[in-house]
Structure 1
Amino acid sequence: LSTAAGRFVPGANLFGYGNGTAKGGAPGARVAAYKVCWRPVNGSECFDADIIAAFDAAIHDGVDVLSVSLGGAPTDYFRDGVAIGSFHAVRNGVTVVTSAGNSGPGAGTVSNTAPWLVTVGASTMDREFPAYLVLGNKKRIKGQSLSPVPLPANKHYRLISSVEAKAEDATVAQAQLCMEGSLDKKKARGKIVVCMRGKNARVEKGEAVHRAGGVGLVLANDEATGNEMIADAHVLPATHITYSDGVALLAYMNSTRLASGYITLPNTALETKPAPFMAAFSSQGPNTVTPQILKPDITAPGVSILAAFTGLAGPTGLTFDSRRVLFNSESGTSMSCPHVAGIAGLLKALHPDWSPAAIKSAIMTTSK
C-alpha cells in the first residue's frame, strides 16, 4: 500500500539504512484494501472465490486502479480467478496491475498472463547496501546486506564452507544450503560460514549459522542466480555475494589451510551501476497460456524496496525474529507491481477519460 499510494514520510529507514523521505507512486490517492488471502487451508491460502469477490467489491466501490500482488502457476484464463475477476474490472474501466511472479530465472514461468492485465516484472535500482568480505589475503569482495549486527573490528575469523561444518546426521546437500539443523555446533562455532543460495529462505540460512554458533554468514549465489544480490536483514553479520565472486572465494579457501575473513557493516550507496537489471527471481516469458502475447509487459523496481511494515512480525517475517520495525526492505514482483499501479493512478488523475488499455499503452510505450 505504501509503495502505491503512501503519503510523504520523512526519516524512513531500516536499522538506519536507506534513510530518507518515503512516498508512494500516487501519494494523494485514496486507498481501498480487500483481503483475499487467509491462513493456509489444505495447502491453499488465496481462493478464487475470495479473489473474485474482491474484484466485485472494487467494481462496486468505483476504484480506478487495482494493484494485485498475487498469482499462481500459469493457468487457462477461464480457470484463473485473477483473470476472471480482472476481466470484469477492466470491462468496468478499472486498470488492473499484477505481479509477474517470482519463479525465475526459468523460461515460461510468468503468471498473470491475460492480455487485459498489466503484468510487472522486477528489476534492481541504483541503490545498494554494500557489505564487504575482507579475506586474509586482503582481497575485498563486495556483497549486499542489511544486517545491523557488527563484527568486532580489526579481527579476522576462520572462514569455512558449510559442508565443513556438516552435522553427522545431515546430508551434504542439506549442509551446503545451511538447512535447519544441518550444521555441527563444534565445527561452526566462532567461524564465518559460507552457504549456498537455494531452496530455504536466505535469512533462514543465517539463523542456522547463528544457532550453530557461527559469527557470520557469506551467502553465495549458484550459477542460475548469477550476479543478483539481495540485501536482507540477517540476524548476524552477513553478506550476499555473486556467483563469480563465490567461485573466486572458493579458490581462495582451497589455496590455504587457514582461510580467514571479516565482514564489514553495510552502508547505503546511491547512483550505483549497472542499474537497473532484471532480478533473477523475476518470472520470465514466454507466455505459456497464450504464446502470441508477450509477457511480462513491463518491469519496475522490485529488489530491496523500503516500504511500511507491520508491527506483528520481524523484518525477516520468520517466527524466530523478535525484532520490530516500522519500515522493511523487501524484494519480489509483489514490490514492483505497486510501483506501476501508482503510475496508473497518476495517469488516471491526469486523464480520467482514458481506458485501462490506453493507460497500459501509455506506460509501456513511454518506459525506458
Structure 2
Amino acid sequence: MHGLFVEYYRKLIGARYFHQGYAAAVGSLNSSFHTPRDTEGHGSHTLSTAGGNFVEGASVFGFGNGTAKGGSPKARVAAYKVCWPPVGGNECFDADILAAFDIAIHDGVDVLSASLGGLPTPFFNDSLSIGSFHAVKHGIVVVCSAGNSGPADGTVSNISPWQFTVGASTMDRQFPSYLVLGNKKRLEGGSLSPKALPPNKFFPLISAADAKAANASADDALLCKAGTLDHSKVKGKILVCLRGENARVDKGQQAALAGAVGMVLANNELTGNEVIADPHVLPASHINFTDGVAVFTYLNSTKSPIAYITPSTTELGTKPAPFMAAFSSKGPNTITPEILKPDITAPGVSVIAAYTEAQGPTNQDFDKRRVLFNSVSGTSMSCPHVSGIVGLLKTLHPDWSPAAIRSAMMTTARTMDNSMEAILNASYFKATPFSYGAGHVRPNRAMNPGLVYDLNVNDYLNFLCALGYNQTLIKMFSERPYTCPKPISLTNFNYPSITVPKLHGSITVTRTLKNVGPPGTYKARIRKPTGISVSVKPDSLKFNKIGEEKTFSLTLQAERAGAARDYVFGELIWSDAKHFVRSPIVVKAA
C-alpha cells in the first residue's frame, strides 16, 4: 500500500497493485511495475467517472468545458490495479483479478466497478464471476462492463446474475466538425482535434485507396494502415480513410505522416451512425456511413474533388439521444440464455474524465501531447456511471441488498430517447433489450422504485444448482458444502427481467416483489411480445408495509404455430399510479 492520497481531501484512500499472475506469464518484473500508478489512463478515467470530486474548468483542448464530477462525488475511492501491458493477448490475469477482489472485500469497499472482461465463459472458469460472487456475498455491489464486441448478437460478457452488467449508449453532447464538399454538400462529423484548417480554404480531397503505396493493397490503404500510403499522392490534401481494424487515431497519424492536411474518417456499414470524437493529431472529421457513401460518390463524380473541414465545437441537447453505441456488446447471453444481459445501458461515448499524464490522449507512442482530462468511449466508461449511481443509492438505502439496488435501477430505466421515440441502435433501427437490457439508467427514479425483485446468496447458489453444477464446482462459490434443493427452474429465478429462450407451447414463471416504498396497490399492465399471449395472476398486488413480499405468476403462450421463431420482446409494468416497476419480457419459441 502506497500513500497516494492528498491529505486535505483524503479522496483516494487506497491504491494497490497485483501482478503475481502476470509475472508468472512474463517472467520477473523490474521496479517500474511495483506501483499502482496509472500509466495508461483507463483506471484514472473510470475511477474519476465513478467517484471524482467537483472540478471546475474541465475540458479536452477546450471542448466540453464545464464542471466535471463523478457519479458519487463525495465518495472515498480506492484503486486496485490488475491490468498490465499485453502479453500474448492477455493483460489482466485471473490470479491478479481474484487477489484484488479478495483485498477489496477485506478493505470493506461498498461498490466494485470492474471495467474489464473477456469472452463469455462458464462461471466456474471466470475469475471475474467468482470474485464478484464473493463480493456480493459480503453485500458489495459489483458493476461490470458488457464488452466492446458489438454490434453482433451473443457477444455480451460478464453474464453472471450476481453481476450488474452495463452496455454503452450516447449522450446529448456532441463535438461537431463539418465536412464541406466542393458540390456544396455540408456533412456533420465529429472530432476533438485542437488543430484547424485555415478558415474557408478548400483543399484537394483524395480517397486513401487512390493514394496507396506501390507495395500496398487498395483495401489496406483505404483503412490508412501504417506504410500503405504514398506521400507524393497525399501531400497537401484531405485524405478519406475508412473505419475498421486499426485505431481511429492511428489513421489520422498515418495521414499526417503521409503529408495530409486533414482527414475524413468514414464509417463502414457495421458502425452506422456511431460517430466518436477523438483527439486527432490533425484537422479531422469522423462521419457516419451514409455521409461516407456521399463522399465516395462525390470523389467518383469529379476530376478535381475539393473539401474543407470546419473547426470542432461543443454542442449540447443533440437528438436523438441516447442511442446505442455500435461497439456495445449484445445479448443473448450465450452461457445462460434465461438471464437477460446486459442489464442496463449508460453513457459510454465521448465521456470526459480524468486522465494520466504518462500518456498522450490517443495512447499512441507518437502522441507527445498531455491532458488532465480526456474523452474516451467504451463500456468501460458506462460501467462507472452506474457504479457512481450505486454509491448514491447505497448512501440513501444502506439496508438494500446488491440485487435490490440493481432491481431499483433496472425497473426505473427508460426505453425512450429525448425525441420520445424508442431507443435506436447505431444504424438507427429500433434497439432491443439485447442492446440495452431494461433500458437507459435514470438515477433519480431509482431512489424510489416502489417495489424490487430481491435475491440473496442462497438464490444464487440455487441458480448454480439449476445449471447442474456439482458440489465441487459450487464450493468454489459457497466456500462450504451446499445442499441443492429439489429441482428448480431457471425461469423462476427472481430476476428483474423475464426471459424464456425455449418456449414449448406455454410456460408459467413466478416472481416475488418486495415493497420498499409506501403502502399501495399495484396493478399489472402488459405489452405482449408479438405472437405470444401473456397473463398475470394475480393482476393486482396490495402492499401494507415496507419489506412485505408478494408473489405472482406470469403465463406465456404461443398464439399460433410458428410464433416467436426468433426472439420477440414485450414488457410487464406494475404500477400504483406513482411508481412504474417495469420488466422486459424476452421470448423465443423452441
Counterpart CA distance in 1 for 2:105 and 2:388 is 18
Distance 2:217 2:240 in 1: 16
Distance in 2 between the 1:43 and 1:103 partners? 15
The CA deviation string for residues 175-220 of structure 1, in whole angstroms up to 9 with x for no partner, is 0100011100000000101000000000000000000001110000
Correspondence 1:200 to 2:253: no
- Aligned equivalent of 2:81: 35
Confirm whether residue 253 of structure 1 aligns to residue 299 of structure 2. yes
Question: Which amino acid in 1 is paired with 2:375?
Answer: S
Residue matched to 2:195: 149
Q: Is 1:191 aligned to residue 237 of structure 2? A: yes
Does 2:49 match 1:3?
yes
Percentage of pairs with the same residue? 69
Whole-angstrom CA distance in 1 between matches of 2:188 and 2:195? 17
One-letter amino acid of the structure 1 residue matched with residue 249 of structure 2: V
Could you tell me how far 1:253 is from its partner in structure 2? 1.4
**In structure 1, C-alpha distance between the alignment counterparts of 2:200 and 2:67, rounded to whole Å:** 34
Match of 2:109 in 1: 63
Does residue 1:352 correspond to 2:398, yes or no?
A: yes
Give the secondary structure class of the aligned counterpart of 2:156: coil
Instruction: Please state how far the C-alpha of 1:154 moved relative to its aligned partner.
Output: 2.5
Q: Within 5 Å, which residues of 2 pair with 1:49-198?
A: 49-198=95-244
For the pair 1:291 / 2:291, whether they are aligned, the reply is no
Deviation of residue 172 (structure 1)?
1.4
Residue equivalent to 2:328: 282
Matched, 1:316 2:316: no
> Aligned AA for 1:213?
G
Question: How far apart, in 2, do the equivalents of 1:282 and 1:336 lie?
Answer: 10
Residue deviations 1:151-178 (CA, integer Å, cap 9, x gap): 1123111111001100011111210100
SS in 2 for 1:72: coil
- Once the two structures are TM-superposed, the CA of residue 53 in structure 1 deviates from its matched residue by 0.7
Contact 2:210 2:218 in 1 (8 A): no
What is the aligned length? 368
Partner of 1:341: 387
Aligned to 1:366: 412
For 1:214, give the aligned amino acid.
A
Q: 1:211-226 maps to which residues of 2 (within 5 A)?
A: 211-226=257-272
**Secondary structure class of the residue paired with 1:143:** strand
> What letter corresponds to residue 209 of structure 1 in structure 2?
A
- What RMSD, in angstroms, separates the aligned Cα atoms of the two structures? 0.7
Work out whether residues 146 and 157 of structure 2, in 8 Å CA contact, stay in contact via their aligned partners in 1: yes
Please state whether the residue corresponding to 2:227 is helix, strand or coil. coil
Which one has the largest radius of gyration?
A: 2
Structure 2: distance between partners of 1:82 and 1:223? 33
How much does 1:250 deviate?
1.3
Match of 1:14 among 48, 55, 60: 60
Is 1:273 the counterpart of 2:273 in the alignment?
no
Q: How far, CA to CA, are the matches of 2:50 and 2:90 in structure 1? A: 27
Deviation digits for residues 115-147 of structure 1, max 9, x if unmatched?
Answer: 110000000000000000011111100000000
Per-residue deviation, 1:44: 1.7
**Equivalent position SS for 2:411:** helix
Unaligned ranges ≥5, structure 2: 1-46, 415-590
What residue identity is the alignment partner of 1:341? S
TM-score after normalising by structure 1: 0.99
Q: Runs in 1 of length 4+ with deviation above 2 angstroms?
A: 39-43
Q: Distance in 2 between matches of 1:350 and 1:83?
A: 27
**Partner residue, 2:472:** none
Structure 1, unpaired ranges of 5+: none
Q: TM-score, normalised by structure 2?
A: 0.62
| Residues in 2 aligned to 1:229 and 1:348: alpha-carbon distance in whole angstroms | 35
Aligned-partner residue type, residue 48 of structure 1: D
Flag the structure with more relative contact order, 1 or 2, with Cα contacts below 8 A and sequence separation at least 6: 1
Contact in 1 for aligned 2:112/2:387 (Cα 8 Å): yes
